[in-house]
Chains A and B, each alone.
Chain A
Amino acid sequence: MPTLMRRGTVAAAAVLVTALAAACAPGSSNDKPASKAPAAVSTDVAKAGNVTLTVWDQEVQGGLKEQIEKLNAQFEAKYPNVKIKRVSRSFSDLQKTLRLALSGSNPPDVVEANQGYASMAQYVKDGMLLPLGAYDQAYGWSKRYPKGLLDLNSVTKDGKLIGSGDLYGVSLNGEIVGLYYNKEKLAKLGIQPPKTWDEFEQALATAKGKGEVPIAFGNLEKLPAMQLYGILQDAATGKEAVRKLVFGSGGSWTDGPNVQAAQKLADWAKKGYLTKDSNAVKWDDTPVNFAKGEGLFMFGGTWWAPDLNDRMKDKVGFMLPPAPQAGAPVATMGGESLPWSITSKSKHADVAAAYINFITSPEAMNVAVQAGSLPVLPASTEPDKPLMKEVSAAWAELSKNDGTTPYIDYTTPTFTDAFGGPLQGLVAGKKSAQDAMKAAQDDYTAFQKKK
């Protein structure tokens, strides 16, 4: 057998060498699609003939799912010649598969492509997304959205700078990473919802002393720790510095306040303020456990709100993260949900644009409210669910203060692993704050150099 094996190896090696010499270089056929702005834009969907529009979204939870199902149905009713093929998957599954699908021979027409250097900027650089300038002119999106929101969804053609260049998508929902609290438990412990970080620390200590889990936290996916860190960083560093840092225009991850934020996270973990073995708990399990009564507090996105409202009714509250001093403005991560983009290989770009316009129209914002989710633009209807009212109020306050900061996983294409990994180590007590921030800075420098 070994003899056969050896001969087999030799035979294979021989084939390999000969064939290698004959093969041509990868990518020389150049699949890169032309990403020119469409010269002539048609907004008349009815004339487009029978079209099946494939749409990939990540709206799998509660009210988010409901709103998009409604909007799709309305769009199909308005244009009977269009059939929407909706493919929805969780945020992490979408992240894992989108790049593959976009580079495939037959990508979907409309996708929710996450902002940042890890996703949208890369796709743009590789020519996978269609610049929307012409459609913006046709539909007037620049008038619909404030500039800050459009900037987040804009990037230069080479993928090097977010915030300028062409527009590549528009968003339907607003997002904040804020603080959920269990009203029932707070009342039992005689704690008021904390207004400042000092009060918050106090509450954590009290909860711990009473044998409660102070903060429900699940961090299997690495992203949750990055969001928790981001909140602490916003408090320690300030919004301007964070924005600059994430978008690559100044600052260092090893700057003092950034290290302090990591240190704070490490302290919380050490004091047992976070769910035990949080690195083994899945992100989406966190709100489920929280609803079951684990944790006084939970930092999380407003995308969890509709579901939590259904599960906990009036037992749950939502607020912006605590402020440095009472009444001071607060900054936190958020802004707009994943933008809806058109792929450059789509054969139905005009219909796709009409669809995107439809689901981000003022009427669509009302549908979002009715479904119990947070629309990115002001709607004319009021939310009826109690938690959604609090979310809506927090959103209004944050918008008024211009308090949104970018998610820090936008920073580099590899940041979730390069910084999220060390943060898992930090939470587990295996890595120091300095080491974790150095890992972040190393990845940051490497990426800036490559850009």
Chain B
Amino acid sequence: MTTVARQKTPEPGPEASGSSNARPAGRRARSRPPGEPRAVGWLYVLPALVVYGAFLLWPLVRGAQFSLYHWDGIGQATWAGLSNYTATWTDPTLRGAFGHLLVLIVFYAILPCCIAFVLVAVMSRTKIRGLTFFRTVLFMPQVIAMVAVAVAWQWVYSTHGPVNTVLGWLHALGLPDWRHGWLGDFTFALPAIGLVGTWVEIGLALVLFLAGVQKIPRELYEAARIDGAGAIREFFTVTLPGLRRELSVALTLTTIMAVRNFDLIYMATAGGPGDSTKVPAYEVYNRTFNTGEVGLGCAIGVTLAVLAFAITAGIGRLVEGKGE
């Protein structure tokens, strides 16, 4: 299980990879004679539980409740039943936003995992000089505040920014003119946002896979090489199967990051041009605070929470191929 709520960073949490390890520990704990009155445990848990309940669980409950009303945030609310949820799927803008989310998942989750696989294959096959350096650098986008990332990438994509400059050079060499106003282009704004996500998430997937690769017994690689396997076959027969668990963790975390894509959209495009980069996370804010549809905003928020649950539960089963 991995943390998802706040998380930009991997948690191959101790529990994650290892029910096998956790369980014996648990057994030991159970066999230990209780040293203190049992109720003391509650005192230790209480502070965390109170804050957690009051400022996370309770708001979630309230959100679910708000989502059943039409409310402008000020006056009296009127009962709406499930109509806010229906609107989530029938309103063309919102349906579009969920569609954009699917596209972004490709860029945020699938693409980084593919690239990280290539990199990890590269890093595990030969001895790499400066491995720590590469790991540090590739992971760095993860730790930078998304608002700062957004500022940097707006420059990268700007009319006279580096991307267009390079494309201008290519144009001068006789290639077609591929320069665009990337973040203001109906076709390219969404993929451009997506590539920022890819850039951020590669490091996350990579660190997870590197950890996983170290657990694959060396003998498997030696055996594969004795069989005459090349780099590619070696990858598919040894590395990939050995990384299933890490892949599931990486996909879960990166997909959740795609779902929680508010900062970048707010800073870089505000959903535009037209509605072409509107995503549910942005619509939660937009509907609540700009257009005064608090119930609808909450319905989208609850939908996102459910989605996050489902993704976390779903990807694990899918990739690991079992329900445990």
| Inter-chain contact B324/A3, CB cutoff 8 Å | yes
Q: Say how far B182's CB is from chain A's closest CB, in angstroms.
A: 7
- B317 contact from A2, A16, A280, Cβ within 8 A: A2
- B64 contact from A20, A281, A424, Cβ within 8 A: A20
Chain A residues contacting B273 (CB-CB under 8 Å) are: 219-220, 222, 279-280, 421, 424-425, 428
| Inter-chain contact A100/B289, CB cutoff 8 Å | yes
B-contact 0/1 string along A63-102, CB 8 Å cutoff: 0000000000000000000000000000000001001100
Q: Is B284 an interface residue (CB 8 A)?
A: no
- Bound-complex Cα distance A100 to B16 (A): 40
Stretch of A24-32, A253-261, A366-374 lying at the B interface? A24-32
Closest to A413 in B: B291
| Inter-chain contact A280/B184, CB cutoff 8 Å | yes
A-contact 0/1 string along B67-78, CB 8 Å cutoff: 001011111110
Chain A residues contacting B184 (CB-CB under 8 Å) are: 219-220, 277-281, 424
B-contact 0/1 string along A124-147, CB 8 Å cutoff: 001110000000000000000000
- B75 contact from A25, A32, A413, Cβ within 8 A: A32
| Inter-chain contact A99/B292, CB cutoff 8 Å | yes
| Inter-chain contact B274/A27, CB cutoff 8 Å | no
| Total count of chain A residues near the partner, CB < 8 A | 48
Would you list which residues of chain B between 1 and 33 have a CB under 8 Å from chain A?
A: 1, 15-16, 19
Chain A residues contacting B15 (CB-CB under 8 Å) are: 1, 4
Q: Is B263 an interface residue (CB 8 A)?
A: no
Q: Say how far B196's CB is from chain A's closest CB, in angstroms.
A: 15
| Inter-chain contact A30/B19, CB cutoff 8 Å | no
Q: Say how far B105's CB is from chain A's closest CB, in angstroms.
A: 19
Chain B residues contacting A28 (CB-CB under 8 Å) are: 76-77
B-contact 0/1 string along A357-370, CB 8 Å cutoff: 00000000000000
Chain B residues contacting A8 (CB-CB under 8 Å) are: 1
| Inter-chain contact A27/B185, CB cutoff 8 Å | no
Chain B residues contacting A220 (CB-CB under 8 Å) are: 183-184, 269, 272-273
Would you list which residues of chain A between 244 and 302 have a CB under 8 Å from chain B?
A: 276-281
Would you list which residues of chain B between 219 and 258 have a CB under 8 Å from chain A?
A: none
Q: Is A325 an interface residue (CB 8 A)?
A: no
Chain B residues contacting A417 (CB-CB under 8 Å) are: 271, 275
Q: Is B150 an interface residue (CB 8 A)?
A: no
| Inter-chain contact B77/A20, CB cutoff 8 Å | no
| Inter-chain contact B185/A425, CB cutoff 8 Å | no
Q: Is A430 an interface residue (CB 8 A)?
A: yes
| Inter-chain contact B74/A31, CB cutoff 8 Å | yes
Chain B residues contacting A421 (CB-CB under 8 Å) are: 272-275
A280 with B181: in contact, given A26-B294, A126-B74 (CB under 8 Å)?
Answer: yes
- Bound-complex Cα distance A103 to B290 (A): 12
Chain B residues contacting A96 (CB-CB under 8 Å) are: 289-290
| Inter-chain contact A27/B71, CB cutoff 8 Å | yes
A9 with B1: in contact, given A2-B316, A425-B273 (CB under 8 Å)?
Answer: no
Chain A residues contacting B77 (CB-CB under 8 Å) are: 25-28
Q: Is A39 an interface residue (CB 8 A)?
A: no
| Inter-chain contact A30/B183, CB cutoff 8 Å | no
| Inter-chain contact B159/A277, CB cutoff 8 Å | yes
Residue from B72, B269, B273, B289 having most chain A Cβ neighbours under 10 A = B273
- Bound-complex Cα distance A3 to B61 (A): 24
B-contact 0/1 string along A1-20, CB 8 Å cutoff: 11111101100100110011
Would you list which residues of chain A between 389 and 445 have a CB under 8 Å from chain B?
A: 413-414, 417, 421-422, 424-425, 428, 430
| Inter-chain contact B180/A1, CB cutoff 8 Å | no
| Inter-chain contact A277/B180, CB cutoff 8 Å | yes
| Inter-chain contact A5/B312, CB cutoff 8 Å | yes
Q: Is B57 an interface residue (CB 8 A)?
A: yes
A-contact 0/1 string along B281-297, CB 8 Å cutoff: 00000000111101000
Chain B residues contacting A414 (CB-CB under 8 Å) are: 291
Q: Say how far A428's CB is from chain B's closest CB, in angstroms.
A: 5
A-contact 0/1 string along B43-87, CB 8 Å cutoff: 000000000000001101110111001011111110100000000
| Inter-chain contact B324/A1, CB cutoff 8 Å | yes
Q: Is A346 an interface residue (CB 8 A)?
A: no
Q: Is A23 an interface residue (CB 8 A)?
A: yes
Would you list which residues of chain B between 270 and 324 have a CB under 8 Å from chain A?
A: 270-275, 289-292, 294, 309, 312-313, 316-317, 320, 323-324
Chain B residues contacting A219 (CB-CB under 8 Å) are: 184, 273
| Inter-chain contact B185/A280, CB cutoff 8 Å | yes
Closest to A222 in B: B272
A279 with B181: in contact, given A4-B1, A5-B1, A15-B61 (CB under 8 Å)?
Answer: yes
Which residues does B use to contact A, with CB under 8 Å?
A: 1, 15-16, 19, 57-58, 60-62, 64-66, 69, 71-77, 79, 157-159, 180-186, 269-275, 289-292, 294, 309, 312-313, 316-317, 320, 323-324
Given contacts A279-B185, A281-B184, 14 further A-B contacts (CB under 8 A): A8-B1, A15-B57, A20-B61, A25-B69, A25-B79, A27-B73, A27-B74, A27-B75, A221-B270, A277-B180, A279-B272, A417-B271, A421-B272, A424-B184
Q: Sample 22 A-B pairs with CB under 8 A, ordered by A number.
A: A2-B324, A3-B323, A5-B312, A12-B309, A26-B69, A27-B73, A100-B289, A126-B73, A220-B184, A221-B272, A222-B273, A277-B180, A277-B181, A277-B185, A278-B184, A279-B186, A281-B159, A281-B181, A413-B292, A424-B274, A425-B273, A430-B274
- What are the 8 A-B residue pairs with the smallest beta carbon separation, nearest first? A280-B181, A280-B184, A277-B181, A279-B184, A126-B74, A19-B61, A421-B274, A27-B77
Which residues does A use to contact B, with CB under 8 Å?
A: 1-6, 8-9, 12, 15-16, 19-20, 23, 25-28, 30-32, 96, 99-100, 103, 122, 126-128, 219-222, 276-281, 413-414, 417, 421-422, 424-425, 428, 430
